[in-house]
Amino acid sequence: PELADTLRSVAALEKPEGLEIGIVVADNDDEPGAQKLVKALAEELKLPIRYRHAPARNISIARNACLDASVSDFVAFIDDDETASPGWL
C-alpha cells in the first residue's frame, strides 16, 4: 500500500528543466503482486512506468532489474516505503 504514496510523491516532483521523469518498479516479491496496482497508478498519474518482476527478495537484484530497464542517463532510487519531497531531484 505504501507504493501508491511513493509513486504519487514521484509524480509530484519538481522536474529539473529540460528533463522528463520515467519510473521503473521492480517487484521483488515471490509473486508479481504489485503489477495491477502499478498499472492502475500509471494510468491515474499519467506517468511512464515500467514494471519488472524480480522475484528474489534481494535489493541488488531489484536495483539491477531497474538499471536493465532504464533508458536514461541518470537514475535515482527510492524504496516503496519512502516518499520524495518535491525538490528531491
| pLDDT the model gives residue 34 | 95
Domain boundaries, the chain: 2-13+22-69
Q: Which band of pLDDT confidence, cut at 50, 70 and 90, is reported for residue 57? A: confident
Q: What percent of the chain has pLDDT over 70?
A: 100
Q: Specify the DSSP class assigned to residue 49.
A: E
| pLDDT the model gives residue 1 | 78
Q: Which band of pLDDT confidence, cut at 50, 70 and 90, is reported for residue 32? A: very high
**Residue pLDDT, tens place only, 15-30:** 888 888 899 999 999 9
| pLDDT the model gives residue 39 | 96
The beta-strand segments (E) located in 1-89 are: 23-27, 49-53
Which pTM was predicted? 0.89
- Reading the block at residue 3, the C-alpha cell is 507504493
